[in-house]
Amino acid sequence: MDGSMEPGLLLIPGPVPLPPQVREELAKAAMPHYGDAWVKAHAETREMLRYAWSAPDAHVFPIAGPGHAALEAIGYTFLRPGDRIVVVSNGFFGDRTHEVLLTHRVKADLVSSAWGSAPDFTALRTALKTPAKAVVVVHNETSTGVTNALEPIVEAAHTADAFVIVDAVSSLGGLPLPFAKLGIDAGFTASQKCIAAPAGIAPVAVSRSLWESTDPKSVEGWYLNLFTWDRYEREWGDWHPTPTTISSNLFYAFHRALKLLRDEGLEARFARHAKVAGRLRDGLAELGFKPVGPPAILSNTVSCFAPPPGVDAARLVRRLKDEHNIYISGGLGPLRGKTIRIGTMGTQADPETIDWLLKAVRASL
Ligand SMILES: Cc1ncc(COP(=O)(O)O)c(C=O)c1O
């Protein structure tokens, strides 16, 4: 365990501990958010984002803000008041997406299934018998530790002429997500999860076909209008490619985290996440914990487990913090007080870290 884990071991489902190289960037003097160094870092960041999304010709934007800012940017840029959309939900973040997009004055129909279960693909196909502009889905449901299969959702959506928006907040960089191959139209993530950067950058990816079929004049707003970001890249790209001031420390830290991701390579990174999550699941099962979801769809980035009978989940979370200086999370919504949630994203996906956690859990039961 190195100093990057001080002062407590952060095993919540994001933010994650920062690698030392990323922390170094945060400690540097502030730099301008324009000029040659910025233009170079910005271009490299966009290239590395295309790699992370496996989307060589997508439009990518490192929006400054949390993951929700990216969701709203996609909403404002590609949806219009009155559009009918279908939101697939099997957990807190699916429901949250629905709540957010309703405020964009779209008609957002919810296709729900029980928390912890797979999406209801049959109900989705039925919902798409009525024309819809888009289908929205969370790839990895952070509230239940379940990964949603995207292929059947993209297929159902495209068959019905709807485009697909994917929340990849707790998956990009940790779980396979071949954006271009799957035919995803718009996706977003957040820097503080599998990319292992500080919170504050929300990368967006948009397919060429969705981009080219959208009339920029039909988009309202400025900051969360992706055409504004595009215009700055095109018109001010040689000196000031982002529309507003972005913290240079944050941006360079994000850029450094992406370099670590690229140097490791996506396949190796996915394999590391899978291996460590498997080790965590096995260790928890041995201690009598039960996953919320069925084995086939358990996530390799977030684990959500109910403790064995007689163990209070909230008390366990507190004891790990107070007695072992380890932060994990409790359940959300109906799972509050009933489950624990543990991240194995980015730096968290480390076998020694997980062994240390399991030892502490054993001692806290
Ligand atoms: C699946 C998912 N979507 C969206 C979000 C929201 O991200 P942010 O807090 O960066 O807006 C989260 C945060 O945990 C998440 O896990």
Work out which ligand 1 atom sits closest to the CA atom of 14: 14
Strand 134-138, strand 84-89: pairing: parallel
Region 284-290 average pLDDT = 98
Please give the Cα distance from 224 to 129 (Å, whole number). Answer: 31
Tokens of 356: 């240390």
**pTM of structure:** 0.97
Region 208-218 average pLDDT = 98
Query: Cα dist. 229→7, 57, 119 in Å?
Result: 37, 17, 33
Report pLDDT for 258: 98
Report pLDDT for 5: 44
pLDDT digits (tens, 9 = 90+) for 13-32: 999 999 999 999 999 999 99
Mutate to test the pocket of ligand 1, among 93, 96, 100, 304 (most ligand atoms within 8 A of CB): 93
Cα 33 to chain centroid, rounded: 25
Q: Which helix (H) or strand (E) holds 90?
A: none
pLDDT digits (tens, 9 = 90+) for 91-124: 999 999 999 999 999 999 999 999 999 999 999 9
| Domains of the chain with bracketed CATH | 9-15+265-364 (3.90.1150.10), 21-263 (3.40.640.10)
Determine the distance separating the centroid of ligand 1 and the alpha carbon of 144, expressed in angstroms: 13
